[in-house]
Amino acid sequence: MRPLLVAALFAAASNSQLLGVFDTVFPGHGQEQPSVITGSESRVPVGKRADSAIMKIKKIPQEDLEKAKKIASLALKQVDQLKRYRDTVNGLEKETSSAQTCYDNYQKKSQQALNDPLSIGDCDKKYFQVQSLLGKARTISQERDFPDSSWIYDVKLPDVRDGRTSLQGEETKQLQDILQALTKIAGQAVTIQKQAERLQDYHSKMQGLDAAISENKKCYSAFYEKAKKDGVESVEALEAAMKPCNEGYAQVQAKLVEAQKLAKEADFPGADVLARFELPNLRDGFESSQDAETQKYWQELEELTKAKDGTAEVIKEDSKEAKELDAAVAGEIDAVVNATLHNWVKFVALQEVKNGASAEAAMKSAKEQGDKFIQELLKKSDEIADSAIKDLPER
């Protein structure tokens, strides 16, 4: 063993830093350990060998001993630096993973972001902790006498000082990748936060519209249920019974106009952003391009309109108003049919006369065409009735 290295080890041992280097049982302190025997060497007690080693160290010049102490001190310092660096890097990698998961969940739970955009703050705290740990690791790596990169690579640790994008070592590249991924997802989450904040007023108005639609549907449903059971005696009674529902319908329309006004603002988010937050796009009037959420709103509003308008059939059939309505409608139908039939018969008769037919033959042909017209009208009566029924409001 070289004298300088022996001195270094001795100096380290004397500082109680390298335990086990002189892990020997000295005389009077337990059982002696056998020495290693090679060739013709005789057994030498451990105590004597230790005394011999100490005597050799005592023969080392003071200058070499001081150098050895410096080497040992440097080695111990670097061991401590590397341990602190390893602990910090391990914490950095763990916190980076936690922050990335937090931002990812913030993006996926769009309703949570919409209800509380500032909940991203929990993720930001983790992000700042990552920055703090990264700064701490860099500070340690910049300490005086910190081991060079080759030593860091040998112990399989990333080098935070290495900014290269190639040939930087596997561990360093892995750390760079997860830090870049965190930066990217944090930026995406911030974009979602800004969108959520921009949609706060719209979201609030849509909640109000939702509640108004729900209440208005209940009102019309209760009205028709009662009218179906008891009937309504007059138009005046109908209007009085419908007044609360119609007032609710007016509120729905007012809330709809408010939400549409917001949706038409120049910087309002597009359809893809609204879909992410599961909000209807009230600017979209093209039924073929509407998403499910938007279609649901327009359908509910259409049903409310039908419920408001479809009230004539709830008047009692034997009431004065119903009889007057039936008479008026029947009279209108008779007038239209009679006028049409009269004109058609007259037209046929004139055409027959022009074609040289006698007056008697022309009248016969005209009557036949009149009967045919009535028969065709009767055949289409079912089709006309079906079309009218389809226009009735659904309840």
Query: 123-150 burial by CB neighbour count: b if 16+ within 10 A, else e?
Result: bbebbebbeebbebbeebbeeeebbeee
> What token pair was written down for 321?
């108003």
Supply the pLDDT for residue 30. 38
What letter would DSSP give residue 393? P
Per-residue pLDDT of the chain (395 residues; tens, 9 = 90+): 444 344 444 444 444 443 333 333 323 333 433 433 344 444 545 455 545 555 555 566 666 656 666 677 667 777 878 889 899 999 999 999 999 999 999 999 888 899 899 999 999 999 999 999 999 999 998 888 888 777 788 888 898 888 777 776 788 899 999 999 999 999 999 999 999 999 999 999 999 999 999 999 999 888 888 877 777 677 677 778 888 998 999 999 999 999 989 988 888 998 889 888 989 888 765 555 577 888 888 888 888 888 877 765 565 554 555 556 566 566 667 676 777 767 766 777 677 667 777 767 767 776 777 777 777 767 666 666 666 555 545 54
Sequence-ordered list of residues with C-beta below 8 angstroms from that of 139, at least 6 positions apart, any chain: none
pLDDT of residue 384: 67
State the CB neighbour count (10 A cutoff) for residue 37: 10
Query: How many H helices and E strands in the chain?
Result: 14, 0
Distance, in Å, from the CA atom of 158 to the CA atom of 153, rounded to the nearest integer, reads 7
> Which residues, listed in sequence order, are joined to residue 315 by a DSSP beta bridge?
232
Tell me the C-alpha to C-alpha distance, in Å, between residue 334 and each of 328, 343, 373, 385: 10, 14, 14, 17
Residue type, 237: A
Burial 180-193 (b: 16+ CB within 10 A, else e): eebeebbeebeebb
Reference 267, options 201, 207, 206, 190; nearest CA is 201
**Mutual orientation of helices 3-14 and 62-108 as an angle, nearest 10°?**
60
Distances (CA, A) of 308 to 220, 241, 244, 296, 302: 8, 12, 11, 19, 10
Taking the mean position of all CA atoms in its chain, how far away is CA 182?
A: 17
The residue among 278, 224, 225 whose CA lies nearest residue 113 is: 278
Are the CB atoms for 112 and 119 separated by under 8 Å?
A: yes
Spans of all domains in the chain: 3-60, 77-198, 200-314, 320-390
Q: Which residues does 4 contact at the CB level (< 8 Å), separation at least 6? A: 60, 64, 67, 68, 71
Contact in structure between 197 and 119 (CB atoms under 8 Å): no
Query: How many other β-carbons are positioned within 10 Å of the β-carbon of residue 224?
Result: 18
**Tokens found for residue 148:** 């060079």
Q: Report the Cα–Cα distance between both ends of the chain, in Å, rounded.
A: 101
Tell me the C-alpha distance between 98 and 133, whole Å.
13
* R_g of the chain computed on alpha carbons: 48
Residue 70, token pair as written in the block: 């410096």
- Dump the DSSP string for 52-89: HHHHHHHTS-HHHHHHHHHHHHHHHHHHHHHHHHHHHH
Q: Please, is 153 exposed, middle or buried when counting C-beta atoms within 10 Å of its C-beta (0-12, 13-18, 19+)?
A: middle
